[in-house]
Amino acid sequence: MKPEEELIRINKLIRQFESVYRTTVDEGQKERVTTELKKLKQYRQKLESFHVLEETEAEEKEEFEEYADFPFLKSLRARENEDNPAESYSDPEVANMYRYIRFFEEQILNLLSETKLKLDFKFSMERDAFYHRVENLRRQLEEFVDDTSRIDGYEGPHGEEMRMRNFKKKRNLILEADRVFRRLLSFTAELLSDIDEDGMKCLNAEERINFDKIERNKYLQGLSVREALKRVNELCGEVVDYLNVPRIEVEE
């Protein structure tokens, strides 16, 4: 294995252990993860000291490996410029959550209106509820980010208590994001199944979608409702996979 490839592997392991450390509430597991992280970082330091590595090439390979299973997220990151707000988030997981939510609000949420997606009464009620759910999720994300910015670097009294509360807020944020996108995944899957069976839950499955200039939606422009629902379903499936919330936590 080349040194660059070994560095990519070590960095990936470090990120995985750091993610476990951030999300676990088991103190024993935290201690074990801390020990492993120390060993990995020491090894990385030695690797970098013994080899002159092509950092740019290594970083590009690393990003490819990291997001290979999340093509949509990889595409969102590739289209960003340097001023993108996501880059200001210190937590990569939260930054990626922001990317998904922002794209959903800007390019997909308008689909969930009675003029674009015509459904029977029961599904119309559920469709309309997603506006409120996504808005609440974005607000929860913004509150978490504001809270984190106040805590970063704070060493005063009650600092540990504040960080523990912040950790719980992140956990709740991830759980809520999973609930919203998992429900959207189920919602779109049920509609697509009904469309394939010539059902009556969706009343305009083959109608072409057109957005005006104010809506500025390009991702779904010109697709049939069926095709648009398929894209939304695929996106929601990727978000759920990325969040990777254990089923036991989903069921709590």
57 pLDDT exceeds 50?
no
Confidence label for 248 from pLDDT (cuts 50, 70 and 90): low
Provide φ and ψ at 202, rounded to 5°: -110, 125
Tell me: the pLDDT tens digits for 101-151? 999 999 999 999 999 999 999 899 999 999 999 999 999 999 998 888 877
Give me the percent of the chain exceeding a pLDDT of 90.
43
Residue where the block lists tokens 């935290």: 30
197 pLDDT exceeds 90?
yes
Smallest CA-to-CA distance from 44 within 19, 74, 12 is with: 12
Tell me: the pLDDT tens digits for 176-193? 999 999 999 999 999 999
CA distance 162 to 123: 41
- Six-digit token pair at 10? 């070590």
CA distance 174 to 141: 9
Q: Domain residue spans in the chain? A: 1-66, 81-250
Confidence label for 62 from pLDDT (cuts 50, 70 and 90): low
Cβ atoms of 137 and 94 within 8 Å: the answer is no
Smallest CA-to-CA distance from 39 within 56, 68, 63, 14 is with: 14
Give me the percent of the chain exceeding a pLDDT of 70.
78
